[in-house]
Structure 1
């Protein structure tokens, strides 16, 4: 009978610490998910403050600080309203086109149903109750709840942003007054570098969104897809959400193309062309324009998008990458955590 040697105390201790770390991480993620009505607007407000602080700084050097905050908030509100209006316009135009062409969709649905049932698949019972009055009423109620959530989220974010803009100078003064001078300087550098990187990130993202929208509209017009401008506008607005936005901006016009063209070649060309555009702009142009300052592992970007989407929904999909940028930039400022930033950086990080 053999006896296994007992575990070394240090190995047992490492196992306990690992288990404790995993449990803590899970509890923190659960807390972040449950507290999203407060945490998500707070994080968004910090993100907005980082982006607009140069504008606020320039304004408050010429006009009273409170008036500068009002102007800055108005600029942010108008910018978000313009992007939201463009997205709503694009989808509403596509929806009106689909409603006007409802007879074609009904004929396609009946044809597809006959084909599936002829091959032994009973789809009529599966989809027969999708457009019942009860389902339509439930969908309308969900849209109403979603709009209420957006309004409340925007209101809380606006309040946090206004208060934050008014207290940036006070927070900087408190940071400089910390007794540990080295740590205070590291935190100040982390804040400045994070703000600069987030500004670069949004400038690059905006430029790439404009290029993507123009290319999508041009390609859609080239292949004869109706609503070419609308698809370009939708691609521009959704490109601000990594991975998920481009995917939606590719799939929806492809499905639309299937309903408009009698053959499969054109929808396939639309799908392939849009994917090529998204790949070239997102995977080739954007990394070269952004440079090493925003170099993050593509795996970490994808993980951030889906993790924060799971925690906070659509707002999390948008803010996930900026959160990673802020975390890695802060880790770079401290010797004990610098290895994290180097480990999760992209392949070009650290190269001149």
Structure 2
């Protein structure tokens, strides 16, 4: 067998080995990926603060702002889910009756799967999921502590890493690494700004729609929509489905639930399919298929955090691919910019 014939099997085995390692070592790799993502976003702030105050003081200020941002987002999200979760637990008997009625109605219209699902689903099962959230919350806190430590050490070594790359690598390789990192960081910052703005708009509109229809916990639904909108495809779907189910339970009318469901979908469609792509621009253009695959692939490897970080990882990979003539075809195929001009890179690194 020739060497060329061996390339494909070896490549496939290497990909399988890397994917397996990422999944098995999620506790190690996921915090590192999150830390690199945060460093890419906050590094300009760290660099600018160092011009006016000592490096360690600037580092303490930046890390303090990161922790504060984590605390605020986690607090409001926990508050929203907690209020609705307590309401479901308190009214579990009524919700169970409504669900049984819905299952019976669906069976009467020939949807037999509802009966099968009813054997495995009940409100008690939902309550157990909500109660198990406390365990996942403790795990998440441990995860973020490790991330903050990585961010602290990474911000201290960012400049040294760039200098070491210039010494250890060839000029061409060092240029690809440093310029690719700068351009990737710029795109990730833009991605987060756009995603945050669109999440705020989505949350505000969900709150307004819920309040207009008299749905309980309108503010909480808006906060949940804001938080889940950071996860493409999956997040908006869940943020649409949950208030729809609650609307059916509250109003006891399928028509009201359908109207709210339609209104929420219009909001998600207009913002996600029309406004956001135009705000993000061509610099973040990725094939929708690739985005969806990234969300499911990384959620399979790393759970909920993987669903959030999947698209940023894809942006980073395609940006690095665009830096080299041998891999630029991957960036073009996936819908990323064909390459970055020297002017773009200089603007990013300034």
2:270 is the counterpart of 1:287: no
Closer, same or farther: CA 294–114 of 1 in aligned 2, 3 Å: closer
Instruction: Name the structure 1 match of 2:346.
Output: none
2:254 is the counterpart of 1:264: yes
- Identify which of 10, 27, 30 aligns with 1:20: 10
Closer, same or farther: CA 78–327 of 1 in aligned 2, 3 Å: same
TM-score, normalised on structure 1?
A: 0.87
2:308 is the counterpart of 1:318: yes
User: How far apart, in 2, do the equivalents of 1:199 and 1:125 lie?
Assistant: 45
Contact 1:297 1:347 in 2 (8 A): no
SS across alignment from 1:51: helix
| Post-superposition offset of 1:101 | 3.4
Instruction: Name the structure 2 match of 1:344.
Output: 334
User: How far apart, in 2, do the equivalents of 1:115 and 1:265 lie?
Assistant: 14
User: How far apart, in 2, do the equivalents of 1:314 and 1:254 lie?
Assistant: 22
User: How far apart, in 1, do the equivalents of 2:47 and 2:36 lie?
Assistant: 16
Contact 1:295 1:348 in 2 (8 A): no
Instruction: Name the structure 2 match of 1:61.
Output: 51
Closer, same or farther: CA 285–346 of 1 in aligned 2, 3 Å: farther
- Identify which of 119, 125, 138 aligns with 1:126: 119
| Post-superposition offset of 1:267 | 0.4
Deviations along 1:127-172, one digit per CA (max 9) or x if unpaired, are: 599749xx978985x5454233212211211111100000011111
SS across alignment from 1:336: coil
Closer, same or farther: CA 106–161 of 1 in aligned 2, 3 Å: same
**Computing the radius of gyration over CA atoms, which structure comes out larger, 1 or 2?**
1
| Post-superposition offset of 1:41 | 0.4
2:265 is the counterpart of 1:275: yes
User: How far apart, in 2, do the equivalents of 1:336 and 1:246 lie?
Assistant: 37
| Post-superposition offset of 1:76 | 0.8
| Post-superposition offset of 1:125 | 8.8
Runs of 5+ in structure 1 lacking a partner? Answer: 1-8
User: How far apart, in 2, do the equivalents of 1:248 and 1:101 lie?
Assistant: 21
Contact 1:251 1:271 in 2 (8 A): yes
User: How far apart, in 1, do the equivalents of 2:121 and 2:336 lie?
Assistant: 49
User: How far apart, in 1, do the equivalents of 2:226 and 2:118 lie?
Assistant: 38
Closer, same or farther: CA 129–48 of 1 in aligned 2, 3 Å: closer
SS across alignment from 1:313: helix
| Post-superposition offset of 1:318 | 0.6
- Identify which of 174, 179, 194 aligns with 1:204: 194
- Identify which of 72, 75, 92 aligns with 2:65: 75
Contact 1:292 1:349 in 2 (8 A): no
TM-score, normalised on structure 2?
A: 0.87
User: How far apart, in 1, do the equivalents of 2:48 and 2:118 lie?
Assistant: 63
SS across alignment from 2:185: helix
- Identify which of 32, 55, 80 aligns with 1:42: 32
User: How far apart, in 2, do the equivalents of 1:339 and 1:84 lie?
Assistant: 40
- Identify which of 138, 153, 156 aligns with 1:163: 153
Instruction: Name the structure 2 match of 1:251.
Output: 241
Matches within 5 A, 1:1-16: 14-16=4-6
2:79 is the counterpart of 1:96: no
User: How far apart, in 1, do the equivalents of 2:327 and 2:99 lie?
Assistant: 57
User: How far apart, in 1, do the equivalents of 2:280 and 2:322 lie?
Assistant: 18
State the Cα RMSD in Å.
Answer: 2.8
- Identify which of 120, 135, 141 aligns with 1:151: 141
Equivalent pairs, count: 337
2:219 is the counterpart of 1:229: yes
User: How far apart, in 2, do the equivalents of 1:259 and 1:300 lie?
Assistant: 36
| Post-superposition offset of 1:98 | 2.6
Which of 173-182 and 148-157 deviates more? 173-182
- Identify which of 168, 182, 189 aligns with 1:192: 182
SS across alignment from 1:177: helix
SS across alignment from 1:63: coil
Instruction: Name the structure 1 match of 2:167.
Output: 177
| Post-superposition offset of 1:348 | 11
